[in-house]
Amino acid sequence: MSVSQAVSAATDLPTVEAKVRAFVAVAISSSADGLTISEMGELTVALLRLVIASLDSIPADGAEKKAFALAAVGQLFDAVADSCVPIIAKPIWYVLRPTVRQLVLLAASGMIEQLLPLVRMSSR
C-alpha cells in the first residue's frame, strides 16, 4: 500500500471533490489485499493534509471547511476500513463499525487543528 500513490493521483486535480474521489479510488485499489491499522492511519493523515491544503485557498467559513474535511475522512473510512479487519472478526466488526467510525472522525477532528498550521507552513 503506497500513500504516495494516492496523493500523487489526487494532487493535480482541479477541485477538492475530485481530489478526494481520486485519493479514495487509489486507496480502494491499494487495499485489495488488506490494510493494517497503521496504513489506515497514514491514509487518513495524508488525505487530511491534501484536503486542508486544498481548502485553505477557498473562501469559505472554517466550520464548513472542517465539515468537508471530516466528510472526506468518513468517505475514506467507509471505502477501506473493512480491509483492516480479519475475516474471523467480521461479525463483531459489523456491530462495532459505527462506533469505530465515530471515534475515527473525532480523532480526525482533532488532527485537523494540529495539521492546519503544519500544512500552512509547508505551503509557503
How far apart, in whole angstroms, are the C-alpha atoms of residue 75 and residue 92? 21
- Name residue, grid cell 472526506: 72
pLDDT tens, position by position, 82-94? 999 999 999 999 9
User: What is the pTM for the complete model shown?
Assistant: 0.89
pLDDT tens, position by position, 20-62? 999 999 999 988 888 999 999 999 999 999 998 888 777 878 7
Its sign, for the CA torsion 36, 42, 43, 45, is: positive
Count: domains in the chain: 1
Full domain range(s) for residue 38: 3-122
